[in-house]
Structure 1
């Protein structure tokens, strides 16, 4: 048996079963079968009516009538079988010439020119036979509605910044619209040893009343009632997004607010400028001047009697410090194998993009300022805003109210690394 004969055998074995007549005769026409079916049904119906009438009158049913009825039922069953097989064949689609997509794999192998050439050349070596297959797509002629995207439960949100500046400050609460507090502005200390009955020296102190007004940070978003009802997670997602929006603005206000209009009066505008204390020169042996400046800022705050409690840096500046290396390539201020929090000179470092690159703020934050929360974050949903009722919309609003009292600006040192 040569390879061509073998391929033909494979094709014959792979050919799907045909529906229709099994005796090799011509396949009946569907209309003819319908006519035959109607005739058989009428014969069976007439026999049934005849049997019913005779049974009602008590007459006996002859054997010839029974045989005639049995013959009609047998014919009816055969016609139904042929119609069923023909319908199945039509549903599958008649395989015509020139339609390789409907040929079986065996037929494609047998008809392959590569197989014929392989057999004619003595069946030596190896051949590749391309098998054409019908692709399943999302088109209506293929998978159609059966191909549906998979919906994941998780909703992918944009990244959110970690807020940590508030944690550096002393917390507080108020029920008023503003905070007033006496603030000492000068101190002249003339205390000295004095002789008996001598006049004692007088010292001088000056205070003023400072005010920190409560400010409101707020925003809102419109949402359709249908969207809120159809997506159970949407309400909590909007709540989280609105709260985050307040947080990111609050952090910027705590650091940079200039006190004008409805802005808070923040830490940096009230801090003292960095100035290296007299009598000390940084050796610069580390090769990173930023580290020396942070230590000198700590000294500046301590000489003002406000021992520093932390540093605020831009993440880029903190990365520059952590990547500092010695001449042997070893890290000076970081150990990549440890998971310790960011610290410098024993104080916590707060990296935040709320402060500009190349800037730093060092100081005694808990002594320098205090936050007074007037109203915690409140998220409300209303259908009574403007034309919400007739447009079936909802307004979701979030707001919080707070005041920032910077009581000791001298406890904060703001500087520039000078790299940019």
Structure 2
């Protein structure tokens, strides 16, 4: 069993390392009488004196060992054992002296004790040790046992192992979910020059065509045209970042680029559907669409029936529908409709076919209001014109940004929307939400 000698108020103690943990054993003093708990400075002075005495004893034994080695060519076993014991004793006392001197220095500098007391502090403040020292003529032995509980604490205290814990860092950036943009894909694409977009639209046609007899005057039909003008609108936003972070995190620039482009597409989809045409807003399809008016009357029509009647209305306007736009909630409602025997009418829980109804694709987007629908001839009835394709530019043109090492990432696009035939689009509600 390994042990180290310690000097404390009133006697000598041994720090013993055993399989039960660190243990300090205190032996009765040599007749000087036990005193109360002494200050760190007093203990340090006593330990210093003991250390000096141990140092002198060690030097004496070392000189004796050198003499024996010169005279006999070797050191006697008894001398060697005494030398080892003296060195161990001196080292143990030296360690305790250093600890006490540090405590005295902290006290003089106004520092605070550590959150958890040191081994020496716990020893001299232990109730059993105090009681033993307080006896007039202490006899026997008192044991002091200290066990440090290993915790995740990161302070400089016994058992603190928090600094050993390394965090698990996953690569990349966890981004929020992106909405799938689909409305633009339904509309005919195009490009334009300049800021203004003009097109001539037929607004009226009186068809007087009829069979005509020989030499009779032919009937005249009337056709009315109207010039429609619109302008390209800019959708834009920007973000700022320091040059240092963009240089240090290579993926951050591309991540910001992607998020800015997504934000642009998000706003664009809402504008293509619902823009009110005021200020810098596009005039979207919904505000121009024809209101639903059932061409025929059905008894208690379902949501599926309503969409079929909207298709009929578009077909009667000579513009057959090419798709439906619904909110995801309404499409889920339709897919879960069941017949009288509990069988799905159109939904197939095991199927993976693209959403469709009455032979037309169904596009779901949260840009469409719940309980509303838009059915129409998207390819024939409307066209989107890009003046500027979506792009991201990085600059430090602003003087304030330049001197602060800031970069401005600007994302913008410029586009116009032409709705050629408002009657090509049928807009209405299912009537499930009041």
Q: Secondary structure at the match of 2:200?
A: strand
Out of 358, 363, 366, the residue aligned to residue 353 of structure 1 is 366
Q: 1:147 to 1:17 in 2, by over 3 A?
A: closer
Q: 1:233 to 1:31 in 2, by over 3 A?
A: farther
Q: State how many pairs are aligned.
A: 358
Q: CA deviation at 1:274?
A: 0.7
CA RMSD of aligned residues (A): 4.0
Moved more, 143-152 or 321-330: 143-152
Question: What residue in structure 1 maps to residue 298 of structure 2?
Answer: 282
Q: Which runs of 4+ in 1 moved over 4 A?
A: 16-20, 29-45, 65-99
**TM-score, normalised to structure 1's length?**
0.72
Q: Is the 8 A contact 1:375 1:402 kept in 2?
A: yes
Q: Secondary structure at the match of 1:387?
A: helix
Determine if the alignment matches structure 1 residue 185 to structure 2 residue 190.
Answer: no
Question: What residue in structure 1 maps to residue 352 of structure 2?
Answer: 339
Matched residues in 2 for 1:290 and 1:353: separation? 18
1:225-304 map, 5 Å? 225-277=243-295, 280-284=296-300, 289-304=302-317
Q: CA deviation at 1:191?
A: 2.1
Q: 1:34 to 1:324 in 2, by over 3 A?
A: farther
Write out per-residue CA displacement over residues 275-328 of structure 1, whole angstroms, 9 at most, x where no aligned residue: 011xx32244xxx62211110000000011111111111122112111211222
**TM-score, normalised to structure 2's length?**
0.70
Matched residues in 2 for 1:414 and 1:89: separation? 89
Q: CA deviation at 1:336?
A: 0.9
Runs of 5+ consecutive residues of structure 2 not aligned to the other structure: 1-16, 31-46, 100-117, 129-146
Matched residues in 2 for 1:147 and 1:225: separation? 32
Q: 1:83 to 1:245 in 2, by over 3 A?
A: farther
Matched residues in 1 for 2:389 and 2:185: separation? 16
Q: CA deviation at 1:86?
A: 7.4
Determine if the alignment matches structure 1 residue 210 to structure 2 residue 203.
Answer: no
Q: Is the 8 A contact 1:18 1:89 kept in 2?
A: no
Q: Is the 8 A contact 2:55 2:90 kept in 1?
A: no
Matched residues in 2 for 1:39 and 1:382: separation? 78
Q: Is the 8 A contact 1:342 1:349 kept in 2?
A: yes
Out of 359, 372, 378, the residue aligned to residue 391 of structure 2 is 378
| Structure showing the higher strand proportion among its residues | 2
Runs of 5+ consecutive residues of structure 1 not aligned to the other structure: 1-11, 21-25, 49-61, 100-131
Q: CA deviation at 1:264?
A: 0.9
1:7-406 map, 5 Å? 14-16=19-21, 63-64=70-71, 93=119, 134-140=149-155, 141=157, 142-277=160-295, 280-284=296-300, 289-385=302-398, 387-406=400-419
Q: CA deviation at 1:176?
A: 2.3
Q: 1:93 to 1:195 in 2, by over 3 A?
A: same
Matched residues in 2 for 1:174 and 1:402: separation? 8
Q: 1:161 to 1:72 in 2, by over 3 A?
A: same
Q: Is the 8 A contact 1:294 1:362 kept in 2?
A: yes
Q: CA deviation at 1:71?
A: 11
Matched residues in 1 for 2:267 and 2:75: separation? 95
Out of 403, 407, 410, the residue aligned to residue 420 of structure 2 is 407
Q: CA deviation at 1:374?
A: 1.3
Higher relative contact order (CA 8 A, sep 6+): 1
Matched residues in 1 for 2:74 and 2:249: separation? 69
